[in-house]
Amino acid sequence: MKTSNSSRYHFCSRLLHWLMAFGILFMWLSGQVMMVGLEDGSDEEEALKALHASVGIMLFLLLLVRIVVRFVIPPPPLPDTIPAFDRYNAKMGHFIIYVFMVLIMTSGQVLALSQEAGLNWFGLQILSQTEIAGVEIDFVENFHFILATLFFFAILIHIAAVLKHRWFEGEDIFYRMWFGSKSTDK
Ligand code: HEM
């Protein structure tokens, strides 16, 4: 295993990364169940939709916090052992993930606003149903769904990149975003 001079992401960044990763996993699973597992308009579908929207509001707020944290506390530099091409890919890959999150979560809030329940957080009404001028809801719905599907593949590539460094190049990148000790320390 190579040694490196890299350090970790700040604790806040790590916490936000994993809170959001689990939240997004829930959003994908609940989205899939709503689409294929439940009857349209059934009580179960309505209940899951409300939960999906409530968790979506929290993720949207976490994303705003995360973007601010990203500017205030920049990521630690990658280890010197990572080639320039991989550094560029990591930068672009992370940027694309942020763009996906902004687009998916913003379109999710627009969709929630178009529903009868409006922007509702676990029963607490934040904004009532609103029609946004010039916004075609069917388009937003397709946009939200297609981006969420593409995002799934982007995350698979993200995970594969981390594993590639760990398994094929002997560089423990995962440590940078985790809470335990580095694999090279064991
Ligand atoms: C929905 C799931 C996920 C999302 C949205 C996500 C998003 C991100 C983003 C945006 C960054 C860049 C952080 C920044 O520079 O501000 C990042 C970094 C990172 N992620 Fe994820 N991630 C997810 C899942 C995972 C998983 C499952 C792993 C485990 C393999 C992982 C491991 C890492 C690591 C190790 C880094 C730091 C890379 C580096 O050192 O530059 N992520 N992630």
Residues 1 and 46: their CA atoms lie apart, in Å, by 51
pLDDT above 90 for 5: no
Closest-CA residue, ligand 1 atom 9, reads 94
Q: What is the predicted pLDDT for the residue at 39?
A: 87
Closest-CA residue, ligand 1 atom 23, reads 21
Rounded to an integer, the average pLDDT of 15-39 is: 95
Token reading at 80: 């010197």
Q: What is the predicted pLDDT for the residue at 185?
A: 52
| Centre of ligand 1 from the C-alpha of residue 4, in Å | 19
**Does ligand 1 come within 6 angstroms of the Cβ of 75?**
yes
Q: 71 to each of 9, 13, 32, 74, how far by Cα in Å? A: 13, 11, 33, 6
Distance of CA 181 to the CA centre of its chain: 25
Q: Which of 61-70, 85-94, 167-176 has the lowest mean pLDDT?
A: 167-176
- More confident site: 3 or 127: 127
Q: What is the predicted pLDDT for the residue at 143?
A: 97
Rounded to an integer, the average pLDDT of 12-17 is: 97
Tens digit of each residue's pLDDT (9 = 90 or more) over 99-158: 999 999 999 999 999 998 899 999 999 999 988 888 899 999 999 999 999 999 999 999
pLDDT above 80 for 162: yes
Closest-CA residue, ligand 1 atom 42, reads 159
Phi-psi region of 181 (alpha: psi -120 to 50; beta: other; left: phi over 0): beta
**Does ligand 1 come within 6 angstroms of the Cβ of 18?**
no
CB-based contact 171:2 (threshold 8 Å): yes
Rounded to an integer, the average pLDDT of 84-106 is: 96
Question: At 121, which amino acid appears?
Answer: W
Q: What beta strand segments (E) does 18-140 contain?
A: 119-121, 124-127
Closest-CA residue, ligand 1 atom 30, reads 159
Question: Positive or negative, the Cα torsion across 62, 63, 64, 67?
Answer: positive
CB-based contact 16:69 (threshold 8 Å): yes
